[in-house]
């Protein structure tokens, strides 16, 4: 079958393209911006890419594609989509295609939650891989234990990062309702995606739609310390529920150890100890809980906590999760995907646990749709409290797009120390300010869910030239 994918260069749709190619389909695709690394990854697999969404590309094929797979970046008015609709050509969303053509009949392990989906999916996939299960997987990032973000796999098991964002312009349900998991992890839940959800209750409804798809002989692994998830489960659960969390009252709990390792407890008994490798890039209490959840999910398919712990001792984190980009003059620069205040808090706290009293210079770009709308702006100062200096950039979103004054929002951080938090609308000025402030032994933490104008390398270069 010839499949043509619209929006192919996003991580999710690129993963679908790779899986479809591995399944033996001819795969082509297009996107507004076709550039590395996704473009080179796809082309290396024999996938032809076309720049843009011109309907003229339909004339390039000797025979029309059998099916068009539509990413959720495509909306009505897209010229190629309009041509597909006008000509009555067959189309389907990416999540629905994946659910029907790849996940059907397999044991799906779905990782859902506002935060930590990518890291926890990578942990769970690696636990299965390490223990010989040869799973398929689709992860919204590149796990460092693997070379690609998605693969078809060689067994009945498939791990998927289960996103609550909507499926397509013609299907406003969350993506994860298409996955029909047998093991479903509800890792955490708070308000996000303000561009498509009116409030937290609307997201809880989508999570309950996911709960409704888990069979009676499946398993729900639920964070027992999240009120929103308790409300979701209270609406009805038809599969067994196992809760995890810091509190020993949960079926799965943990005891933190030195060097960020932890003891795993199941039903009150110590069953394993996890110790991260020194070069794992994993840190923080949130990652201990992510790992605990992965252990509980793996236990459901027969992998003991002790075997999971052995796998996690060899786990390496995902790119852009407190990833060390480089060191110049004893100043370390990190990259992290954090953009929601809760994720910013856990990321800063995780780095603080690693570096102790050393200075952390936080460099932030609030560019997610939720942040642009200002829904979480009041939480931003508190999320950065454990950083020593804050440099925030608002030009990519722009004051008009942000709809709020970045400097004014950060002002409470300057109450005790002048210029502790600064806002910039010129990237070069920001880079220079960071380089001027940085001293040997400092840690520069860059946080954005976008490319941030290559600011990481610019800072390294500026620091090196000081």
What confidence tens digit (pLDDT) does each residue in 3-25 have?
999 999 888 999 999 999 999 99
CB 456 within 8 A of CB 335: yes
Q: Each residue of 92-112: pLDDT tens digit?
A: 999 999 999 999 999 999 999
Could you check whether the bond before residue 37 is cis, i.e. omega within 30 degrees of 0? yes
SS3 content of the chain, % helix, strand, coil (to 5): 35, 25, 40
The counts of H helices and E strands in the chain are: 16, 23
Q: Each residue of 408-435: pLDDT tens digit?
A: 888 888 887 888 988 888 889 999 999 9
Domains of the chain: 2-96 (3.40.50.720), 105-312 (3.40.1190.10), 323-464 (3.90.190.20)
User: How does strand 171-174 pair with strand 150-151?
Assistant: unpaired
Phi-psi region of 21 (alpha: psi -120 to 50; beta: other; left: phi over 0): alpha
Which residue shows structure tokens 């008009």? 400
3-class DSSP state for residue 91?
strand
**Most confident by average pLDDT, 240-244, 338-342, 453-457:** 240-244
pLDDT of residue 108: 98
Distance in angstroms between the alpha carbons of the first and the last residue of the chain? 57
Confidence category of residue 397, pLDDT binned at 50, 70, 90: very low
Is the confidence at residue 193, as pLDDT, over 70? Answer: no
Q: Each residue of 271-328: pLDDT tens digit?
A: 999 999 877 777 778 889 999 999 999 999 999 999 999 999 999 877 676 778 888 8
Residue 351 to residue 353: CA distance in whole angstroms: 5
- pTM for this predicted structure: 0.78
Whole-number mean pLDDT of the chain? 89
Q: Residue 198 gets which letter from DSSP?
A: S
Confidence category of residue 402, pLDDT binned at 50, 70, 90: low
């Amino acid at each position: 079958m010839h499949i043509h994918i619209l929006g192919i260069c996003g991580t999710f749709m690129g993963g679908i393209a790779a899986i479809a190619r591995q399944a033996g389909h001819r795969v082509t695709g297009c996107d507004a911006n076709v550039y590395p690394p996704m473009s080179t990854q796809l082309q290396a697999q024999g996938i032809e890419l076309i720049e843009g969404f011109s309907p003229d590309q339909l004339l390039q094929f000797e025979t029309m594609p059998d099916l068009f797979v539509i990413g959720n970046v495509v909306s009505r008015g897209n010229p190629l989509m309009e041509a597909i609709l006008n000509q009555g050509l067959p189309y389907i969303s990416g999540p629905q295609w994946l659910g029907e053509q790849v996940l059907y009949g397999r044991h799906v392990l779905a990782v859902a939650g506002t935060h930590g989906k990518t890291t926890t999916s990578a942990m769970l996939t690696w636990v299965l891989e390490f223990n010989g299960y040869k799973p398929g997987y689709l992860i919204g990032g590149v796990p460092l234990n693997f070379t690609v973000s998605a693969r078809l796999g060689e067994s009945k098991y498939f791990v998927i990062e289960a996103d609550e964002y909507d499926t397509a312009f013609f299907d406003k349900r969350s993506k994860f309702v298409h996955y029909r998991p047998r093991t479903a992890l509800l890792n955490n839940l708070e308000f996000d995606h303000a561009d498509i959800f009116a409030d937290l209750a609307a997201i809880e409804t989508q999570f309950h739609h996911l709960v409704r798809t888990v069979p009676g002989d499946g398993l729900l692994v639920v964070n027992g310390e999240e009120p929103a998830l308790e409300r979701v489960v209270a609406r009805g659960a038809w599969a067994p529920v196992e809760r995890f969390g810091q509190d020993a009252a949960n079926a799965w709990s943990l005891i933190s150890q030195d060097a960020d390792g932890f003891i795993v407890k199941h039903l009150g008994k110590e069953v394993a100890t996890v110790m991260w490798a020194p070069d794992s890039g994993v840190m923080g209490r949130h990652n201990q809980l992510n790992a605990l959840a992965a252990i509980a999910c793996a236990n459901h398919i027969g992998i003991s906590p002790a075997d999971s712990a052995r796998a996690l001792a060899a786990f390496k984190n995902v790119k852009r999760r407190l990833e060390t980009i480089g060191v110049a003059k004893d100043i370390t620069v990190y990259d992290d995907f954090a953009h929601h205040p809760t994720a910013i808090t856990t990321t800063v706290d995780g780095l603080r646990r690693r570096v102790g009293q050393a200075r952390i210079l936080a460099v932030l770009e609030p560019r997610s749709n939720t942040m642009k709308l200002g829904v979480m702006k009041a939480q931003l100062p508190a999320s950065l409290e454990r950083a020593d200096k804050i440099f925030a950039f608002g030009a990519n979103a722009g004051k008009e797009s942000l709809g709020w004054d970045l400097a004014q929002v950060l002002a409470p951080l300057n109450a005790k120390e002048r210029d502790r938090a600064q806002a910039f609308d010129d990237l070069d000025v920001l880079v220079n300010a960071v380089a001027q402030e940085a001293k040997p032994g400092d840690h520069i933490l860059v946080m954005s869910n976008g490319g941030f104008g290559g600011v990481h390398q610019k800072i390294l270069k500026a620091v090196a030239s000081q």
